A = this chain, B = another copy of it.
Amino acid sequence: MLPDPIKTFIQIFSTLPGIGIRQATRLAFKLINSGRNRIEETAKAISDLKYLKICSECFFVYDADSRRLNADKRGINLCNICLDQNRQKDIIAIIEKETDLISLERTKKFKGHYLILGEFAKTGFLESSQKLRLNHLKNRIKKEFGQAEEIIIAFNPTTYGDLNFSVIAKELSPFAKKITRLGRGIPTGGEIEFADEETLTSALERRN
């Protein structure tokens, strides 16, 4: 009953994270009803993402297009964070996702570098692309300064996050003077009454 363009739209959009078939259907009709200009504008917003490149050191994104004018040979594959001379190269936060980087940057409290590993698989094991990224980091540390001052492994405090913390902390221990993770406790604005036992235990242990 649905025209092919809608079927294709639903098929493609329902595979995106957090969008099911129902929402993809609603989106399709919303766009159709918003008119031709809006449709083209939305399509262009997606298409323009292709101009972004992935940083060869931390795997965050950067705008290759805006870089073209003042590109130097060294910096051409790096994002703005990795290019920033004011940041400390030997303090590295290993994170799962780009959005984790954004959240950490928003605190304005971290002035080191990053390594984005990519989202953990449901299996609990590291994927080969993630192992490659870790090896890449090891090589960089070895080459540039032998041993990092600190590696902060900033994964979500979940079962998977904790599991992968252990695996990676062990693997990277020769490459850093100190390996840390984010503090745990009651989040600001949170309520003790609704905190789970593990969180409350952490909060007690880390009281200050």
Q: Are B31 and A49 in contact (CB under 8 A)?
A: yes
Bound complex: CA A1 to CA B43 (Å): 23
**A1's closest neighbor in chain B, by CB?**
B105
**A41's closest neighbor in chain B, by CB?**
B12
The reply to whether the CB of A159 lies closer than 8 angstroms to some CB of chain B is: no
Interface flags for A34-49 (1: CB within 8 Å of B; 0: not) read 0010011111111111
A47 with B40: in contact, given A6-B61, A23-B18, A99-B29 (CB under 8 Å)? yes
Bound complex: CA A96 to CA B19 (Å): 22
For A12, the chain B residues whose CB sits under 8 A away are: 41-42, 45
**A3's closest neighbor in chain B, by CB?**
B63
How many copies of this chain does one complex carry?
Answer: 2
Q: Are B16 and A27 in contact (CB under 8 A)?
A: yes
Q: Are B41 and A44 in contact (CB under 8 A)?
A: no
Q: Out of B26, B40, B118, which one reaches A17, CB within 8 Å?
A: B26
Q: Are B80 and A29 in contact (CB under 8 A)?
A: no
The reply to whether the CB of A51 lies closer than 8 angstroms to some CB of chain B is: yes
Bound complex: CA A187 to CA B41 (Å): 41
Q: Are B3 and A66 in contact (CB under 8 A)?
A: yes
Beyond contacts A29-B61, A40-B47: 20 other A-B pairs, Cβ-Cβ < 8 A, are: A3-B52, A4-B66, A5-B48, A5-B52, A6-B52, A13-B45, A16-B27, A16-B30, A17-B30, A22-B99, A25-B99, A28-B49, A31-B46, A32-B49, A33-B118, A36-B50, A39-B46, A40-B50, A43-B43, A46-B46
